[in-house]
Structure 1
Amino acid sequence: MLVKCLRNKGLPEPAHGLYYTEHTVFEVTVGETYPVYGISMFNRGLTLLLRDDTGKPNWQPIELFEVVDGRLPDGWKFATRDQGEAYTQAIFGYPRLVDDEGHEEALIEREPDAMRVFLDYVASAANDAPA
């Protein structure tokens, strides 16, 4: 799945999804295309896991992007989460992201094992991408 960045700031404060204000500047570049490594329903809003301009995995609000290739990668999984209305309700993505409920938080905390798994997945996804 690929998305193209339409904006990186100026979103109104959401009623759902990630927490930000209209002054939040996101670490993505307008016009740039990004592979998506996960999709979650968080606080009843849709978020995308991508490797942003920092090179690290971060969840971004879908409102920043347009989908340019909506095909889901082979091997992706789906699960619901019982984390409450203000947290993750559902998640799509690579197996460890979906199967290990602690992996999502470990990525955000930049724990070495989670980062290794993510970067290994990014590398394998790049190798599997059509030329």
Structure 2
Amino acid sequence: MKVLCKYNDPDDLPEGAPSDFDYGLELQKKYLVMGIMINVEKLYYFIDENGMPGFYPKELFDITDNQLSKEWYFKPYSKIDKMYPYVQAIWGYYELVFDKNHYQKIVDREESALKLYFRRKIELENELKERL
């Protein structure tokens, strides 16, 4: 899945996008989506800008290619899960979905987690090229 950044200016964001944050994205740039999360009933895309992966609100983007990876997984969360309601569901590569610590390691910029993220990104890029 690929998305095009349409908004980034904290003073000019679409309705529904948190406006108290400078997203640091490049306008009109296409991003490869590495995961999707529902967080407190809002949808976020997992992308990276300048090698820094993170979740960004869907309101900032238009979808340019809605094809999902055959290697993606899905996990819903319920009230018995520690992450709920902050995470209600997640889609993406295996470690993002099933390793509880993977995303935190990315946030902490741990080298092994970042290497894994970029390995999965290369795999996804190759998969999408092969399908064309």
**TM-score interval for Structure 1 and Structure 2 normalised by the shorter chain:** 0.7 to 0.9
The Cα of 1:13 is off from its aligned counterpart by 8.2
TM-score (norm 1): 0.84
Alignment root-mean-square deviation, CA:
1.9
Q: Pick from 59, 68, 74: which aligns with 1:72?
A: 68
Q: Which runs of 5+ in 2 are unaligned?
A: none
Q: Which runs of 5+ in 1 are unaligned?
A: none
- 1:81-104 Cα offsets, whole Å, 9 max, x none, are 32122x111100001111112112
The Cα of 1:69 is off from its aligned counterpart by 0.8
- 1:54-113 Cα offsets, whole Å, 9 max, x none, are 22111111000011111111110000232122x111100001111112112221121222
- Please state if 1:45 is matched with 2:47: no
Aligned pairs for 1:80-99 (under 5 A) are: 80-81=76-77, 82=81, 83-85=83-85, 87-99=86-98
TM-score (norm 2): 0.84
2: CA distance between counterparts of 1:11 and 1:39?
A: 20
2:88 counterpart SS class: strand
1: CA distance between counterparts of 2:76 and 2:20?
A: 31
